[in-house]
Amino acid sequence: MARKAKSRWMILGLLGDGPRSGYDIKVEVEEAAGHFWKESFGSIYPVLDRLRAEGLVQVREEAAEGRKRRLYALTPRGRAALRRWLAEPVEPDVLRLELLLKLHVGGAAAPDVMIRHVEAYREQQQRYLKGLTAILGDMKKAEGPEPRGTYRRLTVLLGRRVARARIAWAGEALAALRRRAR
Amino acid sequence: MARKAKSRWMILGLLGDGPRSGYDIKVEVEEAAGHFWKESFGSIYPVLDRLRAEGLVQVREEAAEGRKRRLYALTPRGRAALRRWLAEPVEPDVLRLELLLKLHVGGAAAPDVMIRHVEAYREQQQRYLKGLTAILGDMKKAEGPEPRGTYRRLTVLLGRRVARARIAWAGEALAALRRRAR
DNA sequence: TTTGGCATGTAATCCGTTACATGATTAG
DNA sequence: CTAATCATGTAACGGATTACATGCCAAA
């Protein structure tokens, strides 16, 4: 049975905002959606080609003006497919949290090993939170068209809430672990 | 280059607590770690066999007393490998959050579609939170050996904090989206 | 001139899921 | 008796990553 295939929806979704090249998509995913998504060239180009074969996107060679670029644009069928997917229920994300795995089976290690992992986690989440806050600042300056702006701001706000919860947890966890270590 | 291969660590980690069968591992992942991990038989049995071939676990047929079961136990080399992995830095989890993807490209859909997604998300997180709280209750009754008990309780506490953050976000998001919809 | 960014692609690999296949035992 | 649970496995498939391969253009 057809499993996941989420790359195609990210790609189709971005094309919903206007024509883009494979390279554009890569950059845009990193910059605008990097806090909850990732795509590699190794999927982008083949997926783009498949979408074209299925008639969901069209290619246009952007000749001249510098290097050659292949711009992909949604066809009406592509837009319909996107809308259909958007209306489908969200599938629960596959969860595989490596830090929790290490904690779960951490009894086999020395206590300070787990303490260091949680410390690193807290720092990582603090950096992440900072990054999100910076993104939010940029968003305020460059107001985009609605409702897109609202949607994208909401994704960042969720990231921040979750990051703050994780940071708070890490503090609590470190206190508990240090108490035990003594 | 060898990618991920996280199943082996979950399996090796559980075996660190004592011998288990493939079936035991499946059940235990579901019941004790289901809020942050998942394993299918399709990986468990082949991985177990590979670990045996690598000399990290040993098999013992548990003959008689009901059905036959193949019990796997860590070898000294297996335990050493587990400890080495536990000491390695935690790799950041691959993040691919489908709800956020839909929101990110949701401009192509009608506003109420996104509202329904967020509502469903909130309900799902509320159920999830309830489940975690129940687990925590069970844990208090059945105190396990330390430090394992502390570690496992911490995994649940992180889940709860994050779930609460998501629920709070959903409320805020719904307010914003409904405001816009009018 | 050489480094770095722009730009497109292919090949190998592989982890993990789903589906299939089989059978024993136990509870209702 | 029969349905559910216990129990172990294999086969097919597929999505995605990593690494490789190639080349243009602009700036330092």
CB-count exposure of residue A118 (10 Å: 0-12, 13-18, 19+): buried
pTM across the whole model? 0.94
Question: How far apart are the C-alpha atoms of A31 and A12, rounded to whole Å?
Answer: 17
pLDDT, greater one: A70 or B182: A70
Sole residue written with tokens 């609605």: A146
SS3 A60: strand
What is the reported pLDDT for A95?
85
Q: Is A59 strand, coil or helix? A: strand
Q: What is the pLDDT along chain A (182 residues), one digit of tens a residue?
A: 556 899 999 999 999 999 999 999 999 999 999 999 999 999 999 999 999 999 999 999 886 666 789 999 999 999 999 999 999 999 988 889 999 999 999 999 999 999 999 999 999 999 999 999 999 998 888 777 788 999 999 999 999 999 999 999 999 999 999 999 88
CA atom of A131 to C1′ atom of D19, Å:
30
Distance B60 CA to D11 C1' (A): 26
Location of structure tokens 């997926």: A47
Does residue B141 reach within 7 angstroms of strand D, measured from its CB? Answer: no
Question: Which of 46-75 (A) contact B at CB < 8 A?
Answer: none
Report the residue from A6, A102, A154 with minimal CB separation from B176: A154
User: Which residue of B125, B150, B182 to mutate against A (max A Cβ within 10 Å)?
Assistant: B150
Instruction: Using a pLDDT cut of 90, give the percent of chain B over it.
Output: 85
What φ, ψ does residue A29 adopt, rounded to 5°? -60, -45
Q: Provide the CA B6 to C1' C4 distance, Å, integer.
A: 35
**CA–CA separation, B9 and B29 (whole Å):** 12
Chain A residues lying within 8 Å of B90, measured CB to CB? 98-99, 102, 117, 120-121
CA distance B55 to B144: 30
Angle formed by the axes of helices A111-141 and A148-181, to 10°?
160
DSSP state of A71: E
Instruction: Tell me the pLDDT tens digit for each residue of B69-116.
Output: 999 999 999 999 999 999 999 998 888 999 999 999 999 999 999 999
SS (H, E, C) chain B: CCCCCCHHHHHHHHHCCCCECHHHHHHHHHHHHCCCCCCCHHHHHHHHHHHHHCCCEEEEEECCCCCCEEEEEECHHHHHHHHHHHHCCCCCCCCCCHHHHHHHCHHHCCHHHHHHHHHHHHHHHHHHHHHHHHHHHHHHHCCCCCCHHHHHHHHHHHHHHHHHHHHHHHHHHHHHHHHHHC
What is the per-residue pLDDT for A117? 98
pLDDT value at position B66? 66
- Predicted confidence (pLDDT) at residue B1 exceeds the cutoff of 60: no
- Taking the C1' atom of C19, which residue's CA lies nearest? A1
How do residues B157-167 score in pLDDT, each as one tens digit? 999 999 999 99
- Percentage of chain B beyond pLDDT 70 is 96
Q: Calculate the average pLDDT of chain B.
A: 94
Instruction: Return residues 100-159 of A near B (CB < 8 Å).
Output: 100-109, 111, 113-114, 117, 120-121, 124, 145-148, 150-152, 154-155, 157-158
